[in-house]
Amino acid sequence: MADVKPPEIASNIKKKLMYVNRKAPYGTIYALESLEVVLISAAFEQDVSLAFLDDGVYQLMKGQNTSGIGMKNFSPTFKALGDYEIKKLYVEKESLDERGLKPDDLMEISYEDEDEGFAKKPSVRIVNRSELTQIMAQQDVLLNF
Amino acid sequence: MKLGILVNEGPYTHQASDSAYHFTKAALEKGHEIFRVFFYNDGVNNGTRLTVPPQDDRNLQKAWSELADKHKLDLVVCIAAAQRRGILDQDEAKRHGKNVDNIAPGFRISGLGQLVETAMIAERLVVFGD
Amino acid sequence: MSTLHTVNKSPFERSAFISALNHLGPGDALLMIEDGVVGARKASAFAGLLEKTAKNFSVYVLGPDLAARGMAEKDVIQGARLVDYGGFVDLVTEHDRTQAWL
């Protein structure tokens, strides 16, 4: 994973940045390099969220085992996102359905809610297509990988 | 308007870099400001000065360098993606014990924070990729 | 608050085109570039779907990409408008954000 560097600009800009993930991991590098930017953006204190749709939902699958393909399994990093204050991982329900997947097939990813005694709360939110469309329409910037 | 460009694909295999170049040029001609062009994933391959395309083909790397020179463009190659793919400037080459650097004129190597900064400061971000 | 959606893949090859259509919101526009322009061809398998979309959303096709693939305005579905790179720039600035369906 890339080093998280402190912000290079002093700024009071706070934007809603959404990282849109539509590709399965490992077949291409997009999933990994998207995650690397996500981690960096945490240092800039932006309102960050991630969307997983189409084959992107496979990025969150439980039990990823890459030992047979000689690549690093980066899926545990998603579980660390809560420590970076990244708490909104939207997963499109229709994309799961189309692929024969269920929410239970995905990793459990949580964050600690400071306002409620650091109670563990789920970061993954299953939303339907029209909800995701509306959430996307509320963003300032969409970063597509 | 202040625009940011993200190029996620290398030249020649995919059209993405060509599209990004033509878009950037058109935006400049219309009087817009290009805050930064950020090259990520295989997009970093736009930033090597060692490409020698056939004479009857376009030379995208050179085209970017010339556009940067003419308009004082900020062309930034992601350091982590560049290291994976062998794009080095003088400092990076020295640091990693390589005997040559290959960054093209007008490009600079920097961190991913520069992409987040582009997303924050540019009024629009346009992504080109595959 | 509207979004410009760009599609650069043929609908015959990838799901990007269908995904983009599935996520259009009020006031959004669709711009087909690169191989995405083949999805705008009239009488193609996707023409009906795109014509229906064009009734509710603005649909644009990047002219230089269309020409490069041996097509002209007469070859695209009714309701689609051609733009050049300058028009692409205008569409980006006229909408609040851009979503690239890569």
* pLDDT tens digits for range A28-67: 999 999 999 999 999 999 999 999 999 999 999 999 999 9
CATH architecture for segment(s) B2-128 = 3-Layer(aba) Sandwich (3.40)
Name the catalytic one among B77, B78, B103, B104: B78
The alpha-carbon radius of gyration of chain C (Å, integer) is 12
Does a structural domain hold residue A10? no
From first to last of its 130 residues, chain B has per-residue pLDDT tens of 999 999 999 999 999 999 999 999 999 999 999 999 999 999 999 999 999 999 999 999 999 999 999 999 999 999 999 999 999 999 999 999 999 999 999 999 999 999 999 999 999 999 999 9
Nearest-angstrom CA–CA distance, C34 and A142:
20
The domain ranges of chain C are: 3-101
State the pLDDT at residue A2. Answer: 47
Give the domain CATH number at A78: 3.40.1260.10
The domain ranges of chain B are: 2-128
Count of CB contacts below 8 A, A vs B? 64
Q: If DSSP codes are grouped into helix, strand and coil, which group holds residue B90?
A: helix
The answer, for C91 touching chain B at a CB cutoff of 8 Å, is no
Min CA distance, B59 vs chain C (Å)?
A: 18
Q: Do B116 and A44 touch (CB under 8 A)?
A: yes
Min CA distance, A103 vs chain C (Å)?
A: 20
> Which tokens belong to A49?
């969220």
Pick the closest to residue A31 from A75, A94, A86, A81 (CA basis). A75
Nearest-angstrom CA–CA distance, A38 and A86:
9
Q: What is the DSSP string of A105-128?
A: GBPP-EEEEGGGTTEEEE-EEEE-
Residues near B61 by Cβ (< 8 Å), separated by ≥ 6? B11, B46, B47, B48, B49, B51, B104
Beta bridge partners of C99: C5
Nearest-angstrom CA–CA distance, A95 and C27:
24
Pick the closest to residue A127 from A96, A90, A78 (CA basis). A90
- The gap between the terminal CA atoms of chain B, to the nearest Å, is 26
Q: What is the domain count for chain A?
A: 1
Decide: residue A110, CB within 10 A, 0-12 exposed, 13-18 middle, 19+ buried.
Answer: middle
Does a structural domain hold residue A97? yes
Decide: residue C83, CB within 10 A, 0-12 exposed, 13-18 middle, 19+ buried.
Answer: middle
State the pLDDT at residue A12. Answer: 86
State the pLDDT at residue C1. Answer: 81
Low-confidence ranges of chain A (pLDDT < 70): 1-10
Nearest-angstrom CA–CA distance, C98 and B6:
12
Nearest-angstrom CA–CA distance, B11 and B53:
11
The answer, for A49 touching chain B at a CB cutoff of 8 Å, is no
State the pLDDT at residue A7. Answer: 54
Handedness of CA B53, B77, A25, A74 (dihedral sign): positive
The domain over range C3-101 is classified in CATH as 3.40.190.10: no
B65 belongs to the catalytic site: no
Pick the closest to residue A33 from B42, C8, B103 (CA basis). B42
Rounded-to-5 percentages of helix, strand, coil across chain B: 40, 20, 35
Structural domain boundaries enclosing A130: 16-144
Nearest-angstrom CA–CA distance, B9 and B44:
8
Touching partners of A (3+ C-beta pairs < 8 Å)? B, C
Q: If you average pLDDT over residues C52-78, what whole number do you get? A: 98
Rounded-to-5 percentages of helix, strand, coil across chain C: 40, 25, 35
